[in-house]
Structure 1
Amino acid sequence: MQPMIIDVTQENFEQMVLQNSMHLPVLVDFWAPWCGPCKQTMPMLEKLAHDLAGRFILAKINTEEETQLAEAFQIRSIPTFKIYHQGEVVETLQGAQASSAFRDALEPYLKPDPSEELRLQANDAFVQGQYDQATQLLGEAAKANPNNFRVHLDLTKMYFQSGHLEEAQNLLNKLPDEAKQSPEGKSLLALFKFTQIVSEVGSIEEIQARLATDQNDCEALYGLSGYLMLNNHPEKAMQTLLKLFMVDRSYGENLAQKTLVEIFELLQEDHPDLVKNYRRKLQNLMF
């Protein structure tokens, strides 16, 4: 789906803005060629128009050329932004803004994203064991909105959970940095890391046997932490890494400390108290 970005003049304002706003929200950007903040904001808005293609219209008005429009709307400073919905101005923003501010202002008026409903259906199908149905629905979601990276993250996660690790890794590698740096993307990157940890040490039975022989076996302790993370026992994993830190803090070029920090970042949003507790424990051991 192509983004909708248009230049608006006095002659086409009614059609391009007012009439179109009866179907989709229209974000009007009042700008000028000499305006520094305008030049900074424009690429951000155009990217947002790509990300939300088909869900809103970006209308640009050059106030140097369209002086009548600027006067009619009493534009005293630029950039100024107005959101039209159902023929009326519903939001006004002034000055340079973060992309999230524009997205938040548009959110109540955006046309629903069909890919999101398909994502929910796909996840329900996967939970019920309908793997083929789930992947088919995600394929439809990707066609409905190719810019929704959550669709591809969902597919990566399904590949991972169903044991198709190579496919999952290849798909994740192809995703943009925005996807990889999202909470879902960071979680998947961590899963691959812990899978690698386990694969290098062996099965859980082998790990347990080694620890029964030597409870301070550093490699086995590190492998156990990976196994615990993969099986959704983050607190036990952190306990294991703290023990490894106490046994040999320099093991594998400070792997215990580095991995703990990665787990802290992974859990910070959903489990802040747990992270605070174990961050303090690590600091006490360090100093």
Structure 2
Amino acid sequence: MQAMIIDITQENFEQMVVQNSMHVPVLVDFWAPWCGPCKQIMPVLEKLAHDLAGRFILAKINTEEQTELANQFQIRSIPSFKIYHQGQLVEELQGAQPVSAFQAALEPYLKADPSEELRLQAHDAFAQGQYDQAILLLGEASKANPNNFRVHLDLCKMYFQSGHLEQAQNLLEKLPDEAKESQDGKSLMALFKFTKIVAEVGSLEEIQARLAADQNDCEALYGLSGYLMLNNDPENAMQALLKLFMIDRSYGDNLAQKTLIEIFELLQQDHPELVKAYRRKLQNLMF
């Protein structure tokens, strides 16, 4: 689907705003070329229109040119925003707002994103071992909404979990920064990091044998932390890294501290108390 961004005039207002709002919500932006905040918010709204392609219309009214409309709606300051749904004015916002405010205002009136339902079906198929079906469903989800980066992150995860590491990494590298900086994106980046760690150190059996011979083996401890993270045991991974920090805090250009901080960021949203406890332990060791 394409983003729907329209310039509104007195002549097309009824059709483009009121009539179109019977099908999708219409966000009307009253702006002017001389207005600094208007120029700042315009690209934000245009990006939102692309991200939610086809799910709402961004209708722009230049108040300098469309003075009749500005007077009709008693626009006293700009930017000013109105949302139409089912032919009615349902929401109003005033002044420059964060994108979250527009998302929240539009949310009650947006039709369901078909790509999200396909994503859920893909998750179910993958959980049941139907790998090819899951990939096919994600392909359909991507066609339904090419701007839903969660679809591509899901595909990365499935590639990763099925052992197609090179495909997963290639796809992840091509994704926009917004996807990489999301919680799922950061999790995937971390998984690749820990995969690389264990690949350089050897098998788990080799690591265990090295630690049995020398419990202060820095490389083996670092490798162990990678295995533990990949096996969803972050607490023991952090313990291994704290031990490494105590033995040699400068090992590998401060790898123990840097990796702990990355794990803190990764776990902060879902495990804030665990992060708080281990952050305190690291600070106690540092000072």
Pair in the same fold by TM > 0.5: yes
What amino acid is the match of 2:214?
Answer: D
Residue of structure 2 equivalent to 1:156: 156
- What does residue range 85-164 of structure 1 map to in structure 2 within 5 Å? 85-164=85-164
Residue of structure 1 equivalent to 2:60: 60
What amino acid is the match of 1:57?
Answer: I
Residue of structure 2 equivalent to 1:249: 249
2-side partners of 1:91 and 1:271: how far apart? Answer: 37
Among the aligned pairs, what percent are the same residue? 85
CA shift, 1:92, in A, is: 0.6
1-side partners of 2:154 and 2:43: how far apart? Answer: 28
Matched, 1:261 2:261: yes
What amino acid is the match of 1:70?
Answer: A
SS in 2 for 1:241: helix
- What does residue range 178-189 of structure 1 map to in structure 2 within 5 Å? 178-189=178-189
Provide the alpha-carbon RMSD of the alignment.
0.6
SS in 2 for 1:269: coil
CA shift, 1:125, in A, is: 0.5
CA shift, 1:12, in A, is: 1.0
Deviation above 6 Å: which 4+ runs of structure 1? none
2-side partners of 1:232 and 1:265: how far apart? Answer: 15
Matched, 1:222 2:210: no
Residue of structure 2 equivalent to 1:282: 282
TM value normalised by structure 2: 0.99
SS in 2 for 1:34: coil
CA shift, 1:285, in A, is: 0.3
CA shift, 1:142, in A, is: 0.5
What amino acid is the match of 2:159?
Answer: Y
What amino acid is the match of 1:208?
Answer: Q
SS in 2 for 1:168: helix
Residue of structure 1 equivalent to 2:212: 212
Residue of structure 2 equivalent to 1:171: 171
Structure 2: which 5+ runs fail to align?
none
TM value normalised by structure 1: 0.99
1:54-87 per-position Cα deviation (integer Å, ceiling 9, x unaligned): 1000000111111111111111110000010011
CA shift, 1:172, in A, is: 0.4
- Give the number of equivalent residue pairs: 287
SS in 2 for 1:61: strand
What amino acid is the match of 1:119?
Answer: R
CA shift, 1:167, in A, is: 0.4
What amino acid is the match of 1:83?
Answer: I
1-side partners of 2:265 and 2:120: how far apart? Answer: 26
